[in-house]
Homo-oligomer: A and B are copies of this chain.
Amino acid sequence: MSRYFDEEMESMPKRRLLSLQLERLKSLVSRAYSSSRFYRALYDEGGVTPDDIKCIDDIQNLPFLDEQALRDAYPNGLALAPRRQFREVAGCLNGGAPALVFLTRKDLRYRAQLCARNLVAAGLREGDAVLNLMPSGMGFQGHGYDAGAYAAGMMVVPRPACTLEEQVKLLPDIGMAGVCGSPVALQNLTQMLLEQLGPRDKALRLRLAMACDGEWPDGLYDETREELENRLGVPVVDAVAMTRPLLHGLGVECEEKNGLHVWADAFLVECVHPDTKEWVEEGYVGELVWTWLAADGSAVIRYRSGDLATLTWEETCPCGRTHPKISHILGRASESFTVAGKLVLAVALEKELNRIPDLTGEYRVLIERPRTIDRVTLFVEVRDSLALQDKERTRRIRMQVSDTAKAVVGIRVQVELVPPGALPRVNTRAERIEDGRRILRLP
């Protein structure tokens, strides 16, 4: 049985893929410009026309879809077709700007094909049964994977309408080869399987789990996945996740397990520096920017996802697929900062600081540029306030923090030790970073 769902498309030479991308990009931008008032205004303001797209690199001249643009486009600005042609609306609020993306019958079919590719690339085959734990609904599209499984000739075991706990009793009797779900859903399932059936019940016939559509605890990605694999007793494959405003089936990790393929016939993914907004070199961390090339009903062109990852495009992956690869999502752009040209993820710093037993884990980063050079001050809370009265202990802790921070940030930072509880508690990682330079950058 083939290890591809669509061999021709999945292993198309890079040059042909690129020309397919260019052709689709041109057509998409033309359609958006001619049929959406929102895009026409956006591009007129940006001083670009569809004719300016002559090669893939020219996409860099197009304005981004940022939060403000989504707000401007709402509700129907992204639509490209008459309303009667739509078969589904995928909407989301995202806490920020709401967005509505409309899908035609053609889009539904493409979505099913892409989800089918993901399932097969992950290692599932025709005739297999797949437990689909992904939520279906606005902003989530577990039903995309249902359709993908149907298309790939698999049997869908739908997510329980009853409690998972009840359904687990049925699972050994159904016998599934694979399960898809968010990392948290997989963790819950694993727990229940182990409790109810004992470790690695043979009756399950499970061969792999696919983690999609959910957040990994980013700083502990490898550890969490390894633990899950050990407990579940099967490989856990990672799928490209983005809840909005695109379809599912963006891509998946292949058996090489060194990156996630993005289906380049359907999506063009860029990796940009979140501050300069310019392309970063292959393999460097940047913000993923998505363009939905294969879209029929709605135009999503240069959507800034806020997700940080790396992007590489080898000639051919040993798995045989030619589509570019991204890393798993390393963090959020809002939770990063740039110092002396280097992008630093707060989560990376946090992970290292957490290894120092003298600290509470609470920290704050202040970045300034008093003259022409970046200056970083790192505030950390010590666990025992008495340490601050002991010169020797203070010196030792400060040195340890300073070395740790230099390894992550790239330059020597100013360390300020403060007593436990001195830093106000915050809810998001983004609030731990104060970038004093940003004020100076406003026009």
Binding site for B on A (CB under 8 A): 74-76, 83-84, 86-93, 98, 100, 102, 105, 108, 126-127, 129, 135-143, 146, 149-150, 153-162, 166-167, 169-170, 173-174
- Collect the chain B residues with CB atoms within 8 Å of residue A100's CB: 170, 173-174
Check B174 against A158 for contact (C-beta < 8 Å). Answer: no
- Copies of this chain held together in the complex: 2
Check A137 against B159 for contact (C-beta < 8 Å). Answer: yes
9 cross-chain CB contacts under 8 A: A87-B155, A88-B155, A88-B156, A88-B158, A93-B169, A98-B169, A137-B161, A138-B158, A139-B162
Contact of A139 among B154, B161, B174 (CB under 8 A): B161
- Collect the chain B residues with CB atoms within 8 Å of residue A170's CB: 75, 91, 93, 98, 100, 138
Interchain CA distance A34-B154 in the complex, whole Å: 25
CB distance from A239 to the nearest CB of B (A): 17
- Collect the chain B residues with CB atoms within 8 Å of residue A173's CB: 74-76, 100
Contact of A138 among B92, B102, B155, B161 (CB under 8 A): B161
Check A137 against B160 for contact (C-beta < 8 Å). Answer: yes
Check B89 against A129 for contact (C-beta < 8 Å). Answer: yes
Question: Which chain B residue shows the least CB distance to A159?
Answer: B137
Which of A74, A76, A93, A154 gathers most chain B CB within 10 Å?
A93
Interchain CA distance A92-B2 in the complex, whole Å: 34
- Collect the chain B residues with CB atoms within 8 Å of residue A135's CB: 161
Question: Which chain B residue shows the least CB distance to A140?
Answer: B161
- Collect the chain B residues with CB atoms within 8 Å of residue A161's CB: 135-140
Given A75-B174, A150-B108: A162 in contact with B87 (beta carbons within 8 A):
no
Question: Which chain B residue shows the least CB distance to A171?
Answer: B91
- Collect the chain B residues with CB atoms within 8 Å of residue A83's CB: 127, 155
Check B150 against A138 for contact (C-beta < 8 Å). Answer: no
Given A140-B161, A161-B135: A156 in contact with B89 (beta carbons within 8 A):
yes
- Collect the chain B residues with CB atoms within 8 Å of residue A143's CB: 136, 143, 146, 158
- Collect the chain B residues with CB atoms within 8 Å of residue A108's CB: 150
CB distance from A110 to the nearest CB of B (A): 14
Interchain CA distance A29-B189 in the complex, whole Å: 38
CB distance from A103 to the nearest CB of B (A): 9
Check B139 against A160 for contact (C-beta < 8 Å). Answer: yes
- Collect the chain B residues with CB atoms within 8 Å of residue A153's CB: 84, 87
Question: Which chain B residue shows the least CB distance to A86?
Answer: B155
Check B138 against A84 for contact (C-beta < 8 Å). Answer: no
- Collect the chain B residues with CB atoms within 8 Å of residue A74's CB: 173
Interchain CA distance A139-B169 in the complex, whole Å: 14
Check A138 against B157 for contact (C-beta < 8 Å). Answer: yes
Interchain CA distance A76-B175 in the complex, whole Å: 11
- Collect the chain B residues with CB atoms within 8 Å of residue A167's CB: 91, 93, 138
